[in-house]
Amino acid sequence: MKSIKAATYYVHFKHKGYKELNSLLIKKDYSSIFILVDDNSLELCYPVFIPLLETDKRIEIIEIESGEINKNLDTCGGVWNALTELSADRNSLLITLGGGVITDLGGFVASTYKRGIDFVNIPTTLLSMVDASVGGKTGVDLGVLKNQIGLFANPQIVLIDGNYLATLNERESRSGIAEIIKYGLTYDVKLLDLIKNFNSLNINELIHRSIEIKNEIVLQDPKENGLRKVLNFGHTLGHAIESYFLESKNKKNLTHGEAIAIGMVCESYLSHKVLQLSKEKVMIVKNMIDVMYEKVVIDVSDYDPIFDLLKHDKKNSNGQVNFVLLNDFEDFKLDCKISNELLIESIEFYNS
């Protein structure tokens, strides 16, 4: 698969990726190599990865606990301490091997440790392949507020190897598909047909096209001053729902994809109400998501706490919540404002 050129780095695929990573190790002559993993990627991905790494430099593993709940400053503190105790210096390399928590947190830790060391992203989940590992966003959550602390920093290389997806369970795979649906609805509707016929044969094509789209957007607007906001379609309500379910003891945790799938149904409904998205197209989105994801019940008593969380959304300006909505598939409008009454209607539509 053809490598994709991002701002200061390349996204490489499969064998080419390992070849380029090994060349990077020679070129940069790193003093030591640290591999950040969680319990899952250590067990399932590390044994696949390590024989492919060609180096005689010292390699150390740093393991954190898996799960969004651990994507916080306490975990960063643990990793910074481990790097210090293991004598990582400014010429060390951190390789992140794992899902979105590992690549987001690892990129943040690397770019702040001793004012910044190099890092390489090797995403092992569909979600992190098509979104988190590309585009330079790094960071962690602050309490329930997602990605509240972080910075833009680019890896040296992103290495995509679809073989790691074999280690995922069904629910994790579906989580990543939600981001691909987002690219389909906002940028390239042909992706929706590919998703309907999603199988192990077309997954590499879906990943490649998704990264191409994300990269095209990020190249034009790396710091999210305008166009990049389109990547937040479904995420305004989706993030608030995800945070609310994460903090509520009596709710099961949703995956990121499950939450933004709900967000995309609600925000498609809003697009019909305030822009020109047709009812037929809203139903295409709802039916697709109803088929793909287990239904989540959002009770009336959940509405207010979810709307409270919306107030903390990073995309807000002057206290106003901003939504990305659709005039049509592949035709979006940024910075739309929505009344509370319509927000309630949109969740009722999702529940229906």
* Residues with active-site annotation: 115, 137, 179, 214, 224, 228, 232, 235, 239, 256
Helix, strand, or coil here: 63? strand
Separation of alpha carbons 184 and 336, rounded Å: 20
**Least separation in angstroms between CB 131 and ligand GLY:** 5
Q: Which of 131, 161, 242, 313 binds ligand GLY (CB under 6 A)?
A: 131
Cβ density class 207-236: b for 16+ within 10 Å, e for less = bbbbbbbbbebbeeebebeeebbbbbbbbb
For residues 239 and 286, which CB has a smaller minimum distance to ligand GLY in the complex? 239
213 - beta bridge partners?
none
Q: Which of 121, 119, 99, 102 is nearest to 169 (CA)?
A: 99
135 forms part of the interface with ligand GLY (CB under 6 A):
yes
Query: Site map for ligand GLY, 87-126, x if CB under 6 A?
Result: ----------------------------------------
> Contact region for ligand GLY (CB under 6 A) — 89-97, 129-137, 201-209, 249-257?
129-137
For ligand GLY, what does the binding mask look like between residues 194 and 233, x meaning CB under 6 A?
Answer: ----------------------------------x--x--
* Tally of helices (H runs) and strands (E runs) in the chain: 14, 11
Q: Encoding tokens for residue 235?
A: 């995420």
Helices 279-292 + 170-186 axis angle, to 10: 170
What SS3 state is found at 37? strand
Report the nearest approach of ligand GLY to the CB of residue 243 (Å). 15
Is 272 near ligand GLY (CB under 6 A)?
no
Q: Is residue 126 within 8 Å of 173, Cβ to Cβ?
A: yes
How many residues touch ligand GLY (CB under 6 A)?
Answer: 5
**Interface positions, 138-177, toward ligand GLY (CB under 6 A):** none
Interface region with ligand GLY, contact rule CB under 6 A, candidates 110-118, 130-138, 164-172, 343-351:
130-138
